[in-house]
């Protein structure tokens, strides 16, 4: 039978989980220091303030975040199913306020029924609405898709342009959508896709303090190597769905846990920063 004090590992219940009281066996033993726990929940600092000298966007920290994301999500790709730039454009428009899973359920039949931009351009928005109703906001999305098809057919010869300035003239193709198409189909790193996951997790990781997607994109473009702009978004989006869930992040399973100081962590081995808000 082991002698001395018996301690237990922390549970996954949260950072406030307290270790059980020590149980002393009725045997005289020499006093000893218990071994350090592999992962012990950390306490909040009194103020929750960021320590002096801490730089969340220091190149070495950013590189470590990128290294861990790449190792956790190797070869990650866009979750929207598509076979060409037009299909990706349509799928991205449909994905607004809708899950990629739902979009992927709708698009196969949609593209079978209307296989080309020309087919969409010949529709009235109300004709398209029943086919995309389940994605939500279907009236606005129908107008955007039909409008996009007409511009692409009339102004770009039926081909989705591969330049940011030209893509931004297409209805429904705001900067986020344009970045998705340019990055995932053309392999052009013109910017960083800032969807809800990238918006939230970039703030949690203290990579930006801003709340406006355009400003967040500019902040990320300054600190991320250009050759990582495309994959960073894919990795963060997958991370947001699998681990860093908005309502209850699975911090105990997170590969970034010990370099993340987010204020809403459910479990932590490091100090919490109240300014690291999603």
User: To which residue do tokens 């009281």 refer?
Assistant: 21
- Residue 254 counted as an annotated binding residue: yes
Distance between CA 51 and CA 32 in Å, rounded?
Answer: 33
- Residue 260 counted as an annotated binding residue: yes
CA distances from 141 to 101, 113, 132, 158 (A): 17, 17, 8, 20
Give 191's Cβ-side CA count (13 Å radius).
22
User: What residues are paired with 82 via a beta bridge?
Assistant: none
- The answer to whether the beta carbons of residues 234 and 73 sit under 8 Å apart is yes
- The answer to whether the beta carbons of residues 233 and 192 sit under 8 Å apart is yes
Active site includes 150?
no
Active site includes 195?
yes
CA distances from 190 to 127, 135, 186, 233 (A): 34, 28, 10, 13
33-57 per-residue burial string, b: 16 or more CB within 10 A, e: under 16: eeeeeeeebbeeeeeeebeeeeebe
- Residue 78 counted as an annotated binding residue: no
Long-range contacts of 98-102 (CB under 8 A, 24+ apart): 98/135, 98/136, 98/137, 102/134, 102/135
Distance between CA 200 and CA 185 in Å, rounded?
Answer: 25
Beta strand segments in the chain, E: 5-6, 23-24
> Which phi and psi angles does 2 have, rounded to 5°?
-70, 150
Q: List the catalytic residue out of 176, 222, 248, 253.
A: 176
- Residue 244 counted as an annotated binding residue: yes
The conformational region for residue 52 under phi > 0 = left, psi -120 to 50 = alpha, else beta, is: beta
Q: List the catalytic residue out of 131, 141, 150, 195.
A: 195
Binding-site positions: 244, 251, 254, 260
For the annotated catalytic residues, the residue numbers are 176, 195
Binding-site positions for [4Fe-4S] cluster: 244, 251, 254, 260
């Amino acid at each position: 039978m082991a002698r001395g004090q018996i301690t237990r590992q922390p549970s996954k219940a949260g950072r406030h989980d307290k270790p059980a009281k020590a149980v002393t066996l009725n045997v005289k033993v020499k006093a000893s220091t218990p071994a350090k726990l592999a992962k012990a929940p950390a306490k909040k600092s009194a103020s929750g303030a960021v320590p002096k000298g801490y730089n969340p966007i220091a190149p070495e920290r950013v590189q470590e975040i990128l290294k861990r994301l790449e190792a956790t999500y190797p070869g990650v790709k866009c979750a929207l199913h598509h076979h060409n730039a037009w299909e990706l454009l349509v799928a991205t428009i449909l994905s607004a306020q809708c899950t990629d899973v739902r979009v992927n359920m709708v698009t196969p039949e949609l593209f079978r029924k209307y296989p080309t931009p020309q087919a969409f351009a010949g529709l009235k928005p109300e004709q398209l609405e029943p086919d995309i109703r389940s994605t939500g906001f279907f009236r606005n999305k129908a107008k955007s898709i039909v409008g996009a098809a007409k511009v692409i057919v009339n102004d770009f010869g039926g081909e989705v342009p591969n330049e940011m300035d030209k893509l931004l003239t297409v209805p429904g193709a705001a900067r986020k959508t344009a970045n998705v198409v340019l990055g995932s189909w053309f392999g052009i790193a013109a910017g960083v896709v800032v969807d809800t996951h990238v918006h939230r997790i970039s703030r949690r990781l203290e990579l930006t303090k801003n709340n406006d997607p355009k400003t967040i994109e500019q902040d990320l473009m300054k600190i991320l190597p250009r050759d990582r702009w495309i994959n960073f978004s894919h990795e963060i989006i997958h991370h947001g769905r699998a681990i860093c869930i908005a309502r209850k992040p699975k911090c105990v399973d997170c590969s970034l846990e010990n370099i993340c100081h987010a204020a809403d962590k459910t479990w932590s081995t490091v100090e919490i920063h109240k300014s690291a808000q999603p």
